[in-house]
Structure 1
Amino acid sequence: MLAPTLTGLAILLLGTTLIARLPVRWWWIRACEFPRLQLAVLALVTAALSPLAGPPWSWTCLAASLATLALQVPRILPWTRLWPVQVQAAETGQEARCLSVLVANVLTSNRHADRLVGLIQRYDPDVIVTLESDDWWQQRLDAALDAGWSHGVKVPLDNLYGMHLYSRLPLLAPRVEWLIQEDIPSIHTDIALNSGDILRLHALHPRPPAPNESEETLWRDAELLLVGKRIHETPVPTLVVGDLNDVAWSRTTRLFCRVSGMLDPRQGRGMFSTFHADYPFLRWPLDHIFVSEHFTLVAMSRLPAFGSDHFPILATLCLRPSRADEHDAPEADHEERCDARDTIREARARDQPD
């Protein structure tokens, strides 16, 4: 039984890897993009154990395992320390042009607000973005944060898509938009640094592809690409933060980066996987902080769990436009821009899921 079981597992891993490459938006196919690291680890195990299967099973098992590794490793390698960093390290002495951003999906049903507040007080970020935060969360966050983080945008909702922004830095022309779906908000604002410089922040939490949420990824993809298109059209210092319900290496997130020209500070530094906090083997990077080429990175870290199914993520960034040419910003070609435009148009034209 060992030989067919091991070989069957290797073939299943390869099949899942190949399914993820299909150019369709069905949630169960696009979900196969998420566990690339897990698939690669399992393929490495089946490759190592393939001699136990004995011929001819062993050759099939080894071939399927190596094919899986060959397809998966190039996708995940940029999010390891074996890859060059995409965002350059900041130099010292520019504190007035720096800011720290904490992003936390709180999990609406989580009742450990004191733990998150404790993390905020410990790490003292300049900007805090919470997701899935409803009225209950707003009351507790307001009581703890309004004094020190007096600028804010608050969208309490009980549909798992509430969001809050608290800032000790002034917000300029903040607004809430419902970009693609009428029940999914997003926050957009300019922020004034202590140096007087201005940057733009977009906070997003599109609907995930899942059986109880959306059968397709169309609306999630369109929201990301719409923001990416806006960034490209207005090339100012910009941050995009939030739970994007997509992994860093997916086709949509990579297309978003090419359309917008945004950089991922995790590249060359690690995955910083934020979901799922309770299951170590089932984790991938769902919470993101993307930056335009105007920024350098002081530090980035995944913070301790606080009762949510997501870990918070924290990044300290420094606005250094003079170092923009040190970055190799991704750029979309004509066909990719047309694909992004068509995705946005289709999402706006089609009936939205209930």
Structure 2
Amino acid sequence: MKEGILLAATGLLVVLTFLPLWKNPVWWVRGLDFPRLQLCVLASALLLGQGLLLSYSNALQILVTVVSMICLSYHAWWIIPYTRLWRREVKSADLNADKPRIRVMAANVLTPNRQADKLKALVRQHKPDVLVTLETDQWWEDQLSELTSDYPHTIRRPLDNLYGMHVWSRLELENAETSFLVEDDVPSMHANVRLNDQLAIRMHFLHPAPPSPTENDESTERDVELLVVAKSVQDDHENTPVIVTGDLNDVAWSANTRLFRKISGLLDPRVGRCMVNSFHAQHWFLRWPLDHLFHSHHFQLVSIQRLPEFGSDHFPVLVELQYDPAPEQESLSGDEDDEREAAEKIGKEGVRVSDVPEPEKH
């Protein structure tokens, strides 16, 4: 009986582990990119149970343990870069250096959430230079409008479809645009953020729709939005400071996020440090990193942190960067196959790289 249960559980683990290798974009396949950490825990529990309950008197018992070890190793390969066991991709900033800094906060508010005062208290406490709020409708815009005394530069697009977006900035926003790159009701925002008289940062704020039974049947729309922005910054990130941030509805360790990093050349400050699991705020056992900030080699990391919950299903994420170019900082390396895959995905939606606003060139 116990051997049958362990065998069935191992079979389920194998399916959940290797089904995402099938590159089908359907939501129930791509959704398995998310719970790598949870599947690591499941594989570890299975190995413990097998060690305690199996006698290893036959080849099948040995096989199920070997298979569980393979599954555990495979999931660990994806998530270990987001722990201190990995080399840091982004240097820690010299805090004594007299260099410009920018503090960026991303907060998915969850439209029905009505605890706006908690979010405003976090903003006043941590004083980000740029705040991007996601899922903001007209009610949320009205509630947050009192921030304009401290954040006079804004981009606003309230929507009641869970894809409203607002950018609130202490710093001047130049050539700000709101675009609908892939879907007619899913906006993205783009601007030059003027850090000082000599320095402006090209910033892209994104919130593509996820693959799910209630949103999009496939991940194609999400993947394309990320990749077309990656292609847009590909040739500029060496010379132009770039930041891409928002709720990307994809985990840091997915194949598509890795492809985004390869194509864009942007860095992930979490690598070698922490996961920053920003979702789900109410369920500790179902958490993964959905809210991201990627940047060019022009920045080094001052701090990255997950802030306390405020009634949303997402935690806010706060990242502070210091402008101190370090070209030796390198992201994942892409090749011709990666370029081909990105081009094929983008081609499925008929989106052009030129559709992405390039605010620094205006």
Determine if contact 2:174/2:194 at 8 Å carries over to the other structure: yes
Q: Which of 305, 311, 323 is the aligned partner of 1:319?
A: 323
Distance 1:80 1:125 in 2: 26
Q: Which of 285, 291, 296 is the aligned partner of 1:292?
A: 296
Determine if contact 2:99/2:324 at 8 Å carries over to the other structure: no
Shift of 1:53: 3.4
Shift of 1:15: 1.5
Q: Which of 150, 153, 159 is the aligned partner of 1:157?
A: 159
Determine if contact 1:149/1:166 at 8 Å carries over to the other structure: yes
- Aligned residue for 1:110? 113
Distance 1:171 1:30 in 2: 36
- Aligned residue for 1:125? 128
Shift of 1:224: 0.2
What TM-score results when the alignment is normalised by the length of structure 1? 0.95
Distance 1:340 1:267 in 2: 23
Shift of 1:95: 5.5
Determine if contact 2:99/2:323 at 8 Å carries over to the other structure: no
Letter in 2 for 1:283: R
Distance 2:78 2:327 in 1: 25
Q: Which of 195, 198, 203 is the aligned partner of 1:196?
A: 198
Shift of 1:251: 0.6
1:129-163, CA deviations, whole angstroms, 9 ceiling, x for partnerless residues? 000001000001012x1000111101100000000
Determine if contact 1:7/1:60 at 8 Å carries over to the other structure: no
Partner of 2:261: helix, strand, or coil?
helix
Count of aligned residue pairs for this structure pair: 346
Distance 1:41 1:13 in 2: 11
Q: Which of 264, 271, 282 is the aligned partner of 2:268?
A: 264
Q: Which of 327, 335, 338 is the aligned partner of 1:336?
A: 338
- Aligned residue for 1:187? 189
Distance 1:95 1:314 in 2: 21
Shift of 1:67: 1.3
Determine if contact 2:107/2:134 at 8 Å carries over to the other structure: yes
Letter in 2 for 1:164: H
Q: What runs of 5+ residues in structure 2 fail to find an aligned partner?
A: 352-362
Q: Which of 81, 84, 94 is the aligned partner of 1:81?
A: 84
Distance 1:26 1:113 in 2: 35
Shift of 1:48: 1.3
Letter in 1 for 2:119: L
Shift of 1:96: 5.2
Partner of 1:230: helix, strand, or coil?
helix
- Aligned residue for 2:214? 212
Distance 2:49 2:199 in 1: 57
Determine if contact 1:263/1:292 at 8 Å carries over to the other structure: yes
Distance 2:98 2:37 in 1: 36
Shift of 1:61: 3.0
- Aligned residue for 1:352? none
- Aligned residue for 1:34? 34
Distance 1:222 1:14 in 2: 29
- Aligned residue for 2:13? 13
1:280-307, CA deviations, whole angstroms, 9 ceiling, x for partnerless residues? 1110000001111111000000000100
Cα RMSD, aligned residues only: 1.3
Letter in 2 for 1:15: V
- Aligned residue for 2:24? 24
Partner of 1:20: helix, strand, or coil?
helix
- The within-5 A match list for 1:126-145 is 126-143=129-146, 145=147
Matched, 1:64 2:64: no
Partner of 1:200: helix, strand, or coil?
strand
- Aligned residue for 1:53? 54
Could you list the runs of 4 or more consecutive aligned residues of structure 1 that deviate by over 6 angstroms after TM superposition? none
Partner of 1:157: helix, strand, or coil?
coil
- Of 127-136 and 47-56, deviating more is 47-56
Shift of 1:337: 1.1
Shift of 1:309: 0.3
Determine if contact 1:104/1:131 at 8 Å carries over to the other structure: yes
Matched, 1:247 2:248: no
Determine if contact 1:40/1:73 at 8 Å carries over to the other structure: yes
- Of 338-347 and 155-164, deviating more is 338-347
Distance 1:85 1:201 in 2: 23
Distance 1:93 1:77 in 2: 31
Q: Which of 281, 304, 310 is the aligned partner of 1:306?
A: 310
Distance 2:19 2:65 in 1: 20
What TM-score results when the alignment is normalised by the length of structure 2? 0.93
| Percent of paired sites with the same residue | 42
Shift of 1:330: 2.4
Distance 1:134 1:14 in 2: 42
Shift of 1:94: 4.4
- Aligned residue for 2:241? 237
Letter in 1 for 2:241: P
